[in-house]
Amino acid sequence: MAVLVQKFGGTSVGSIDRILHVAEWVLNAQARGDHPVVVVSAMSGETNRLVELAHRIAPIPYSREYDLLIASGEQISVGLVTLAINAAAARRGLGGPCATPWLGHQLGIRTDAVFSKARIQAIDTDRLRGELDRRGIPVIAGFQGVDASGNITTLGRGGSDTSAVAIAAALKEAGTPGVDCEIYTDVDGVYTTDPRICPAARKIPRICFEEMMELASLGAKVLQIRSVEIAAKFRVPLHVRSSFEPVEGTRVVSQEELRSGPGALLEEVVVAGIAADPDQVKFTLQEVPDGPGVAAAIFGALSDAAVVVDVIVQDVSSDGRLNVSFTSGRSDALKAQGALEALAAVRFPGMRIVMRDSLAKVSIVGVGMQNHSG
């Protein structure tokens, strides 16, 4: 009996009708002989609603109380999905234990303490194994964990993908044979670009971890980048598919498998896809004194503030002064501004900080490009 981690995104649990459908879907997988482990997101729109409430009170709300608040959407879906699976199991006349609800802290999903961007450090698989041994179906809240002080933490927007893959990886590491991971979303696979923006986009039947990581990091939010990193590291095959129609989606596999498995191409596809990220900001630091340790001071301060920096451009210095520009996501803009102002005050008094928002980034992705001119 293979363990099948099934992650249902916001739209898949977006209404009671959808939740009843998910319950049948999970029990069908069980009836086919798989052992489902269910991971759920908040109902669609719920996390946005909670984020917006917090931002109406404080401009940079990221804190212990913020994570506690925005993690609550997943608690609602876990409760509803568990109720729905148990009701559907009773209708089918299935006896014995069925679904049990788990929040991140109850399951032992341990993270660091970086609120709103926490990283999973370890997952205690004992409770999960116990559930599987007694043939139960664990229903787990995605997106959340617990830090060493017992605070609820969240994994960044889209983080339920990462919860699901991390659970699959932890089960695999604990010696569970044959762990697969399915990511159910509102499109039926990974496309050459966002099919909601470009209807001519084509579904990619199979893609390697490296290309998927690039697409995800460059703005294709169909999978959170960290979920793909974990999948690549622990060799967890992913199947991205739709819970609306039972069709084959996209398999995310290793490069070796892509080259050798069914449907392998003789020559590498040069371009796998195009990603766009409409939420970029650019900072330009003017009149920065040139010298050893300057870049370390700037990017060290940004790193301490947990700002993710993307593209960096440094001009040639003139008169011992230079300009440094970098881009980051818009959600990090206020944190970056605060860190840079503090740096200007204590270390670079003449430095000017110019921020430009409303930028977008378009990227073309493909591992085949490294061997092709043009």
Q: What residues line the site for Mg ion (CB under 5 A)? A: 158
Question: Do the bridges between strand 273-289 and strand 352-365 make them parallel or antiparallel, or are there none, so unpaired?
Answer: antiparallel
CA-closest candidate to residue 366, choices 277, 270, 257: 270
Tell me how far, at minimum, the Cβ of 264 lies from ligand ASP, in Å.
Answer: 32
Q: 183 to 222, contacts with ligand ADP by CB under 6 A? A: 185-187, 190-191, 193-196, 215, 220-222
Binding residue (CB under 6 A) for ligand ASP from 158, 219, 249, 273: 158
Residue nearer to ligand ADP on the CB measure, 82 or 227: 227
Q: Which amino acid is at 351?
A: M
Q: Which amino acid is at 294?
A: V
Binding residue (CB under 6 A) for ligand ASP from 10, 36, 101, 138: 10
Which of ligand ADP, Mg ion, ligand ASP, none binds 30 (CB below 5-8 Å, type-dependent)? none
Looking up tokens 């363990």, which residue turns up? 3
Element (H, E) at 181: strand 179-185
DSSP 323-361: EEEEEEEGGGHHHHHHHHHHHHHHT-TT-EEEEEEEEEE
- For residue 256, what are the contacts with CB-CB under 8 A and spacing of at least 6? none
Tell me how far, at minimum, the Cβ of 296 lies from Mg ion, in Å.
Answer: 35
Determine if 10 is a binding residue for ligand ADP (CB under 6 A).
yes
Determine if 42 is a binding residue for ligand ASP (CB under 6 A).
yes
Whole-number Cα distances in Å, 330 to 36, 49, 121, 133, 160 = 37, 18, 26, 45, 21
Determine if 273 is a binding residue for ligand ADP (CB under 6 A).
yes
d(CA 286, CA 288): 6
Determine if 47 is a binding residue for ligand ASP (CB under 6 A).
yes
Tokens found for residue 294: 């300057």
Determine if 41 is a binding residue for ligand ASP (CB under 6 A).
yes
Q: Is 144 helix (H, G, I), strand (E, B) or coil?
A: strand
d(CA 308, CA 279): 13
Residue nearer to ligand ADP on the CB measure, 17 or 256: 17
d(CA 132, CA 3): 9
Q: 30 to 69, contacts with ligand ADP by CB under 6 A? A: 41
Query: How many residues form the binding site for ligand ADP (CB under 6 A)?
Result: 19
Q: Which amino acid is at 252?
A: V
Residue nearer to Mg ion on the CB measure, 47 or 82: 47
Answer whether 85's CB lies under 8 Å from 30's CB: no
Determine if 115 is a binding residue for ligand ASP (CB under 6 A).
no
Specify the stretch interacting with ligand ADP by CB under 6 A; choose among 181-189, 293-301, 302-310, 364-372. 181-189
Q: 176 to 235, contacts with ligand ASP by CB under 6 A? A: none
Specify the stretch interacting with ligand ASP by CB under 6 A; choose among 18-26, 156-164, 260-268, 311-319. 156-164
Binding site for ligand ASP (CB under 6 A): 9-10, 41-42, 47, 73, 142-143, 157-161
Binding site for ligand ADP (CB under 6 A): 9-11, 41, 158, 185-187, 190-191, 193-196, 215, 220-222, 273
